[in-house]
Homo-oligomer: A and B are copies of this chain.
Amino acid sequence: MADHSQSVDRITVSASTTPKIKDVARVAGVSTATVSRALSKPDSVAANTRQVVLDAARVTGYRINQAARNLRQQKSGAVVVLVPNLGNPFFSQILAGIESTLAKRGLSVLMVDTKQSELPSEYLHHSRADGIIALDGSLPGTLLAEIQSGIGTPPIVFACEWDPDDMFPSVRVNNRHGAALAIEHLVELGHRNIGYVGGPPANVLTGARLEGVQRALQANNCAVCEQWLFQGDFSLQSGAHVAAQWLAMDNRPTALFCANDEMALGVISHLHRSGVNVPRDLSIVGFDDIDVARFFLPPLTTIRQPRSKLGTESADLLMEKLEHGLISDSRSETVLPVEMVVRQSTARIAN
């Protein structure tokens, strides 16, 4: 009887369907429970059994069915990353940091573009994601409220940006300090008429950096001229647009601090075509230190943000939450240092 069923099994195993744990069990001559244990908790089975199972898994070409595991274990093995704009290269290093950290722990990365896709609210279920990393500080309030209610919703961690009410754990840099460094650098070079090019007004980074600018200007007894507060959208184009505005002004600032590098490059580029030389005629400081900054002409003076680290740290923070259920207070708002990188887009003020 046993022999007969075995010969039948041989045939079953070689069928064209993908092998299940049952097939492995049959080939190994053990129960499915043992196979499961041998594969996921190797120490809990005898050494020789383990070997037999591993061999059986190999010959059958067994691969686990994630959906079944996920259903049983009530988790998804995935983390959703909410990116404001996937097309924006600024995020790529952060994403790389997140991916590498999560991959090490066997978690996969679900990428969602919050500007393109309508409602990522389907992702707010433990069967979809074990956790969320948001690079977008402008998520719909309803979404955040739902996450906070915390029933069945995965925990969230912000990276780079943060939520308006600042209620969730986050990893970011000291934006005010970075902005202040930029202003102080310009003041040291003799500038007193300093403008600021922000991103979208609603953006938290725009605001935080503006605060830093205003404080530093006041601390140095510089005027804070409303007219010199430009509005961009973090794009190269918007930088060029600001440059055009600057050209059209009567009383121009002698230096500009841009809330990101791309806008800074846009400004320089546009001005150059109009015969205005940076840094001779205008000093420019950026923010981020993207790759191209040090290769630009002139190389860009900027505030360096550790992008890769923002990614790895936020992923680590989320892992802590996932594994320990809680995040230690000391880490729940991680602030990474920025660094002033002086290059050649800033110069001592003329005459």
A64 with B295, Cβ < 8 A, contacts A18-B151, A113-B99 known: no
Report the Cα distance A107→B111, complex, angstroms: 11
List B contacts of A71 (CB < 8 A).
65, 67-68, 70-71
List B contacts of A272 (CB < 8 A).
297
Report the Cα distance A113→B116, complex, angstroms: 22
A78–B110 CB distance below 8 A = yes
**Minimal Cβ-Cβ distance residue in B for A95:** B86
Does A10 lie at the interface of the complex (its beta carbon under 8 Å from any beta carbon of B)?
A: no
- The interface bits of chain A over 47-89 (1 if a CB of B lies within 8 angstroms of the residue's CB, else 0) are 0000000000000000111111011000010100100011111
Which of A118-126, A159-167, A225-233 has 4 or more CB atoms under 8 Å from chain B?
A118-126
Does A203 lie at the interface of the complex (its beta carbon under 8 Å from any beta carbon of B)?
A: no
A108–B112 CB distance below 8 A = yes
- The interface bits of chain A over 152-172 (1 if a CB of B lies within 8 angstroms of the residue's CB, else 0) are 100000000000000000000
Report the Cα distance A165→B262, complex, angstroms: 39
B86–A76 CB distance below 8 A = no
B96–A113 CB distance below 8 A = yes
Does A128 lie at the interface of the complex (its beta carbon under 8 Å from any beta carbon of B)?
A: yes
Report the Cα distance A89→B292, complex, angstroms: 11
Q: A-side interface residues toward B, CB under 8 Å?
A: 16-18, 63-68, 70-71, 76, 78, 81, 85-89, 91-93, 95-96, 99-100, 103, 108-113, 116-117, 122-128, 151-152, 236, 240, 262, 265-266, 268-269, 272, 291-292, 295-297, 299, 308
**What 10 A-B pairs come out closest when comparing CB atoms?**
A89-B89, A18-B152, A87-B96, A67-B70, A269-B295, A67-B71, A86-B96, A103-B117, A65-B127, A66-B127
